[in-house]
Amino acid sequence: MDIYPSRVRDYMALLKPRVMSLVIFTGLCGMLVAPGQVHPFIALIAILCIAMGSGAAGAINMWYDRDIDAIMQRTSQRPIPKQLIAPAEALHFGVFLSAASVFLMLVVVNYVAAALLAAAILYYVVIYTMWLKRKTPQNIVIGGAAGAFPPMIGWAAITGSISVDSVILFLIIFMWTPPHFWALSLFRAGDYTKANIPMLPVVRGRRVTQNHIMIYTLLLIPITLVPSWLGHSGMLYLIMATVLGLRFIQLSYKVYRHDREVDAKKLFGFSIMYLFLLFLALVLDHVIDAPLMNWIGDIHA
């Protein structure tokens, strides 16, 4: 009786739902802060396509990485290593979702959003998963671009274009990715060693990884303030970005100073909440600031 719900759960796990939730959220934020409007139905289709594209990339990633997923403790319970889904099934499912998501985005939304979605899927699958991940300790730095596309896709879904604003959103996630994943790699280094994945702490050592986390954090925080410097966001976002940034620096500094697993875990956990709160502040600032500016304009008129 439970076979079909179990099957659905297995396929949902194949889509990496936790990663997908963050992808959907940042894509939605890109749509909400973009200038202009589209019909709610088109906006809903755009979010659906972003979700499908993310899930497709996750499924193909699990197909390709099934050998190392079976070795690593963190990934050993995924559907393919547990033999709940055949590798060929996962590949066909991922390819179908990839094609369907890009085609639907092209037909219903616009070609710019569709092109960006296709680029994000190909980048994650080909550039990161098949090329960089097993070959260089800089896999996360270069491969991080794949996860930075969603707000650009959301922006393009509304405007049909790429702008400086959407590129800044891209850069925020791009620079956030290395310290986020390197914090994870510090307390999961044993997994990566067993699977022969050249993550930074495995290849260059923990001290170098700690240094890199600190450097990338210090590079990230000024970028998060650029929307305020350019006048594209208001005081709410500036305050939140500053407070969150100072906390990020504090936790990164603890990792830099002390080689303790507890500090790496705290930084990793906070980094997820950091990105969520930062983008939420950007949206709330936009929602609050736009009516306020209109009201001030009416007074002066």
pLDDT on residue 281? 95
Tokens of 20: 């997908």
* Phi (first) and psi of residue 216, to 5 degrees: -70, -30
Give a three-class secondary structure readout of 205-252.
Answer: CHHHHHHHHHHHHHHHHHHHHHHHHCCCCCHHHHHHHHHHHHHHHHHH
The two tokens of residue 245 are 């940034």
Return the pLDDT at 74: 86
- At 235 the pLDDT is 87
Pick the closest to residue 31 from 45, 20, 17 (CA basis): 45
DSSP E strands in the chain: the ranges are none
What are the 10-residue block averages of pLDDT along the chain, 301 residues in total?
67 91 95 91 96 96 94 90 93 96 97 97 94 89 90 96 95 96 92 90 93 97 93 89 97 94 95 96 82 41 43
Distances in Å between the Cα of 176 and the Cα atoms of 70, 143, 185 are 28, 12, 15
Token duo for residue 171? 């850069």
Reported pTM: 0.91
The confidence score (pLDDT) of residue 234 equals 85
Please check whether residue 148 is in contact with residue 173, taking contact to mean a CB–CB distance below 8 angstroms: yes
**Which distant-in-sequence residues (6+ apart) come within 8 Å of 282 by Cβ?**
29, 33, 227, 233, 237
Token couple for 90: 């996962």
Cα torsion 248, 251, 254, 255: sign: negative
